[in-house]
Structure 1
Amino acid sequence: MSNTVIESRQDAIAILRLNRPEKLNALNYELVDALLSALDRIEADPALRAIILTGAGDRAFSAGADIPEFAGSISHGVDTALRLFVRRGQALTSRIETFPKPIIVAVNGLAYGGGCEITEAAGLSIASDRARFAKPEVAIGIPPTFGGTQRLPRLAGRKRALELLLTGMDFGPERALELGLVNQVVPHDDLMAASLDLARRILEHAPEPVSAILRAVAHGLNVPIAEGLRIEGEQFARVAETPNTWEALSAWMDRRPPSYRSPI
């Protein structure tokens, strides 16, 4: 089993650490595959209800793709680079974006290139006050390839995204907050505590509506409003008659905590 991703648990929360600190947690193919495998395991485990994704060490969440490995793929032709690099990276960010359990990215340092794209794809993220972000792909002669040309404009708006995509300039956590890339900025030493607190506040609620909300937002965000409303109705139908919905409704009317709510 690859050690490029280290998994630990705190009750119902899985903590995944990108583990190449000597390479600033650069996303080589082995790490991407290991992260995809970890997501598959966590999705299948009903005891795990949320994920915190962060980087090993204090310098970086991820400084982006492993450039020497990627350059080797390009040397074998565009088709090889598309298959090994682009499609692998896009599969990872799409998996994160549509994952049925909440993923919180705890940005503990540099989030450049692919590291920034993972942050864009995740539904929630918290940044350390030491975090730095950048879209530097233009400097190595390529556009972003893990979804950065699509998700950043949707988060930040076209003009603000293009300024970052076309210059490659780095920016700090407060700018990331302004752009909608992160939910909050906290002191570096408080990053994990803040991420765990957010996860626990989500896990006070039943898993079925949490998953339904994640699906509705992920699939409805980029379709016309009529289609989005249809998706919303489908997600309501998935949960409306489940035991936890009836318990939540009864608890609300009885002015008591629902029985499924327990300390996390």
Structure 2
Amino acid sequence: MSDPILLDTSDGIALVTLNRPDKLNALNYALIDRLMAVLDMIETDAAVRAAILTGAGERAFSAGADIDEFSGSVRQGRDTAIRDFVRRGQAMTARLEAFRKPVIAAVNGLAFGGGCEITEAVHLAIASDRARFAKPEINLGMPPTFGGTQRLPRLAGRKRALELLLTGDPFSPERALEIGLVNRVVPHDALLSAARELAQRIIRHSALAVGGILTAVTRGLNMAIAEGLQVESEQFAALVPADDLAEGINAWIERRTPRYRGC
């Protein structure tokens, strides 16, 4: 069997590809488990400064959960469905959201259900002009379960999110851009190069500072402003004794480009 996740690393960027093109990169349990393992690998790899997540083939980023497999868990009852499906999917999106290195989704086609929830969870997203999004879980008689009822309203606002969640209607990449689900829409053939260019603009900076920003924003979004400001302060405090902060300040004073470790 082919690996459900492909990994290719170059120039500090890990290209992570959901690899079930014959199934529109549907998220079965093996793919989710393998993705979690790959995230563990690249998180501790000092050579990796950022990740791009995309889908194999020309049709889909991910069409969502593997319904055939999921339905088997449902037939076994509530506890099994929650353990095998809901907790696994929520752990995946939470892992992506809290990752200490920037993760950019390169949405190359259908991003339905769980594929849309991955797009919601990652830090940044660029969509092909061929991309198509939807929250179709309502058509199965269920809500989204990988975080879609929580993250989409935070991105798009309550009323706009509820329209998408309650109708299940597909929407265009331009609409995804309008509601804040993606950062840019680009021609299909330029998708990966645009994602790589964005990643390179980030990894020229201090990896410690990038990680601190990601942590402060991700944690702070779910806190009151006073608590979020405390997280921001903690992230800064952790950088004070680090070489990167001294290098950044000295480079600014000396009017030169900073020379961070790993850059």
Settle same-fold status: TM greater than 0.5.
yes
Identity of matched residues, %: 64
- 1:71 maps to 71
- 2:35 maps to 35
Q: Output the amino acid matched with 1:159.
A: K
Q: What TM-score do the two structures reach when normalised by structure 1?
A: 0.98
Alignment check: 8 A CA contact 1:108 1:191 kept: yes
- 1:232 maps to 232
Seen in structure 2, the aligned counterparts of structure 1 residues 257 and 95 have a Cα distance that, compared at 3 Å, is: same
- 2:45 maps to 45
CA apart distance, 1:260: 2.4
Runs of 4+ residues over 4 Å off in structure 1: none
Deviations 1:103-151 (A, max 9, x none): 0000000000000000000010000000000000000111000000000
Q: Output the amino acid matched with 1:244.
A: D
CA apart distance, 1:241: 1.9
* Structure 1 CA distance for aligned equivalents of residues 42 and 261 of structure 2: 21
- 2:223 maps to 223
- 2:137 maps to 137
- 2:147 maps to 147
CA apart distance, 1:259: 1.9
* Structure 2 CA distance for aligned equivalents of residues 260 and 161 of structure 1: 41
Deviations 1:34-65 (A, max 9, x none): 00000000111111110000000010000000
Alignment check: 8 A CA contact 1:2 1:30 kept: no
* Structure 2 CA distance for aligned equivalents of residues 17 and 89 of structure 1: 17
- 2:92 maps to 92
Deviations 1:193-233 (A, max 9, x none): 00000000001101000000000000001110000000000
Q: Output the amino acid matched with 1:221.
A: L
- 1:197 maps to 197
* Structure 1 CA distance for aligned equivalents of residues 95 and 254 of structure 2: 39
Deviations 1:153-188 (A, max 9, x none): 000000000000000000010000001000000000
Superposition RMSD on alpha carbons, in Å? 1.2
| Residue 104, structure 1, aligned to residue 104, structure 2 | yes
* Structure 1 CA distance for aligned equivalents of residues 235 and 119 of structure 2: 25
CA apart distance, 1:261: 7.8
* Structure 2 CA distance for aligned equivalents of residues 260 and 76 of structure 1: 53
- Which piece of structure 1 moves more, 2-11 or 111-120? 2-11
* Structure 2 CA distance for aligned equivalents of residues 257 and 124 of structure 1: 25
Q: Matched residue pairs, number?
A: 263
Deviations 1:86-107 (A, max 9, x none): 0000000000000000000000
* Structure 2 CA distance for aligned equivalents of residues 110 and 34 of structure 1: 21
User: Which SS does the other structure have where 2:208 is aligned?
Assistant: helix
- 1:183 maps to 183
- 1:160 maps to 160
* Structure 1 CA distance for aligned equivalents of residues 51 and 27 of structure 2: 19
* Structure 1 CA distance for aligned equivalents of residues 66 and 11 of structure 2: 33
User: Which SS does the other structure have where 1:170 is aligned?
Assistant: coil
* Structure 1 CA distance for aligned equivalents of residues 120 and 259 of structure 2: 35
Q: Output the amino acid matched with 1:114.
A: G
Structure 1: state its 5+ residue gaps: none
Q: What TM-score do the two structures reach when normalised by structure 2?
A: 0.98
* Structure 2 CA distance for aligned equivalents of residues 217 and 47 of structure 1: 24
Q: Output the amino acid matched with 1:131.
A: A
Residue pairs, 1:225-264, within 5 angstroms:
225-260=225-260
Seen in structure 2, the aligned counterparts of structure 1 residues 232 and 81 have a Cα distance that, compared at 3 Å, is: same
